[in-house]
Amino acid sequence: MAALNIKKGATSHSAYELRDPNAQLSESHTLAVLVDNEAGVLARVIGLFSGRGYNIDSLTVAEVDHTGHRSRITVVTRGTPAVIEQIKAQLGRIVPVHEVHDLTVEGPSVERELALFKVAGAGEKRVEALRLADIFRANVVDSTLESFVFEITGTPAKIDAFADLMRPLGLADVARTGVAALSRGV
Contact (Cβ atoms closer than 8 angstroms) between residue 76 and residue 157: no
> What is the longest distance spanned by two Cα atoms in the chain?
68
CA distance 13 to 179: 36
Whether 13 shows a pLDDT value over 60: the answer reads no
CATH value at residue 76: 3.30.70.260
Contact (Cβ atoms closer than 8 angstroms) between residue 85 and residue 93: no
Q: What is the pLDDT of residues 97-109, one digit of tens each?
A: 999 999 999 999 9
Instruction: Write down which residue in 68, 102, 136 finishes a domain.
Output: 102
Q: With cut-offs at 50, 70 and 90, classify the pLDDT of residue 17.
A: low
CA distance 152 to 61: 20
Residue 46 zone, left/alpha/beta (φ > 0; ψ -120 to 50; rest): alpha
Q: With cut-offs at 50, 70 and 90, classify the pLDDT of residue 135.
A: very high
Contact (Cβ atoms closer than 8 angstroms) between residue 84 and residue 26: no
Percent of the chain with pLDDT over 90: 79
Inside any domain, residue 79: yes
Same structural domain, 73 and 121: no
Same structural domain, 88 and 119: no
Whether 5 shows a pLDDT value over 50: the answer reads yes
Q: What is the pLDDT of residues 35-81, one digit of tens each?
A: 999 999 999 999 999 888 899 999 999 999 999 999 999 999 999 99
State which residues form the domain around 79. Answer: 27-102
Q: CA Rg, the chain, in Å? A: 22
Instruction: Write down which residue in 102, 132, 153 finishes a domain.
Output: 102
Instruction: Write down which residue in 82, 102, 122 finishes a domain.
Output: 102
